[in-house]
Amino acid sequence: MRPYIVAIFNQKGGISKTTTSTNLAVCLAAHGKSVVVIDLDSQGDSTKSLGVDPGVKRGVYDLFVGQAEVDQVVLPTIFENLRILPSTYSLAGIEIKLSELKDSQRTLTNILSHSILDCDYVVIDCPPALGILPINALAAAHAVIIPVTATPYANDGLMRTLPSIKYVQEGLNKNLLLQGVLFTINERNKTTRKINRLIRSRLGGTVYEAEIPRDTVVIEAATARLPVCVYAPRSQASMAHLNFTREFLDRHAKIAAKAGIAVTEPVSREDALVTLGRWQGQLADRVDRPEGERVKQKRHQLDRMLYGDRTPLERAHLWLVHFFIDNRLSLAAFLLVVLVAMAAVIGIGVEGVRMLAGAIGLS
């Protein structure tokens, strides 16, 4: 069972799959475990969050289509013990490509069984919806974790996700274990508590004790392209992720013990926190960068995307259009000036015609 492969999956979008994957991965690494993240989402969010550019030459796509081997694709991250099989933008086209291949639902299983990923844990960040990529993840994994956000639609997400897992358990991967359900982006209000209680009463011990609270620092961390456990190790959200990681490790230790496999003890929670604090210190320039500077950087990136390969005239035109979109009052003033100028030109024109007619004796 080495490495222990876990897929983070829910068909619903925006419920913290990527945040859970990257924070679990850094927390495991901080506990002294060696980890590889597989980013199966063409959005590349976990790739970016671990400091890797999705513009890299090779990624998961090349693995899936057989154009590269695992050791040509796997990259180190800014964190020791943690590597990544990154997503690249080309991954968006994988569905069509895989539909042409035989046994396409087992592509990842075959890749992982033919290569040696020397690590303790593989964490797979799945894209939302049930496509060929999540099916590949579930087929290759030992276990699956479902993040759930307690909204009135949370149940719908779960009710669509559980049958997909069952489908894989009945065919592609009989050993796939539902390791747990994790409440994420948890609000502190009555409705949330009610929904959480309902789900806990249905799923019992499958639900982790740890609940990840909604915390704006998670969004700040995402803007700085860091997992919150590194960005602010002692924040509430980080502590909750750390608690979840400890539970995850406990559950895995029990599963391994049942299978007669020995796993090495992780370092203590306090030591893991020290490592996260050290990483935070090493990345201080990102953590401390003032908000204004980050916004400026984002604007610069956007400008490059918008104006990148246009002629100076097109750029000036676009700049003017955007300027007026941003400054509607200026547009009104500009139109007023144009109107006055036109009136003046017309006025001068009429007067000019009259003067000319007088000069040649027509009036």
Ligand X SMILES: Nc1ncnc2c1ncn2[C@@H]1O[C@H](COP(=O)(O)OP(=O)(O)OP(=O)(O)O)[C@@H](O)[C@H]1O
Residues that bind ligand X in the complex, under the rule CB under 6 A:
13-19, 41, 43, 45, 127-128, 184-185, 212, 214-215, 218-219, 222, 237
The CB-of-17 to Mg ion minimum distance in angstroms stands at 5
Question: Running DSSP on this structure, what letter comes out for residue 2?
Answer: -
Question: Running DSSP on this structure, what letter comes out for residue 184?
Answer: E
The CB-of-100 to ligand X minimum distance in angstroms stands at 26
Query: What is the amino acid identity at position 344?
Result: A
The CB-of-344 to Mg ion minimum distance in angstroms stands at 58
The CB-of-136 to Mg ion minimum distance in angstroms stands at 16
| Residue 133 interacts with which of ligand X, Mg ion, none, CB < 5 to 8 Å by class | none
Pick out residues in 308-347 that bind Mg ion (CB under 5 A). none
| Order of strands across the sheet that contains 177-186 | 75-76, 82-85, 35-39, 121-125, 4-8, 143-149, 177-186, 207-213
Residue whose CB is less far from ligand X, 158 or 185: 185
Residue whose CB is less far from ligand X, 41 or 62: 41
* Among 18-26, 87-95, 211-219, 239-247, the segment contacting Mg ion (CB under 5 A): 18-26
Burial of 311: CB neighbours in 10 Å, binned 0-12, 13-18, 19+ = exposed
| Residue 269 interacts with which of ligand X, Mg ion, none, CB < 5 to 8 Å by class | none
Question: Running DSSP on this structure, what letter comes out for residue 44?
Answer: -
| Residue 19 interacts with which of Mg ion, ligand X, none, CB < 5 to 8 Å by class | ligand X
Residue whose CB is less far from ligand X, 63 or 182: 182
Question: What ranges make up the beta strands (E) of 61-218?
Answer: 75-76, 82-85, 121-125, 143-149, 177-186, 207-213
The CB-of-317 to ligand X minimum distance in angstroms stands at 34
How far apart are alpha carbons 227 and 20 in whole angstroms?
9
Pick out residues in 24-63 that bind Mg ion (CB under 5 A). 45
The CB-of-236 to ligand X minimum distance in angstroms stands at 9
CA atoms in the 13 A half-sphere facing the CB of 135: 18
| Residue 87 interacts with which of ligand X, Mg ion, none, CB < 5 to 8 Å by class | none
C-alpha of 239 from chain center = 20
Question: 43 near 133, Cβ under 8 Å?
Answer: no
Question: Running DSSP on this structure, what letter comes out for residue 289?
Answer: S
Question: Running DSSP on this structure, what letter comes out for residue 150?
Answer: -
| Residue 235 interacts with which of Mg ion, ligand X, none, CB < 5 to 8 Å by class | none
The CB-of-50 to ligand X minimum distance in angstroms stands at 13
17 lies in the site for Mg ion, by CB under 5 A: yes
225 lies in the site for Mg ion, by CB under 5 A: no
φ, ψ of residue 58 to 5 degrees: the values are: -120, 145
How far apart are alpha carbons 167 and 13 in whole angstroms?
20
How far apart are alpha carbons 47 and 7 in whole angstroms?
16
| Residue 222 interacts with which of ligand X, Mg ion, none, CB < 5 to 8 Å by class | ligand X
Beta bridge partners of 6: 123, 143
The binding site for Mg ion (CB under 5 A) comprises: 17-18, 45
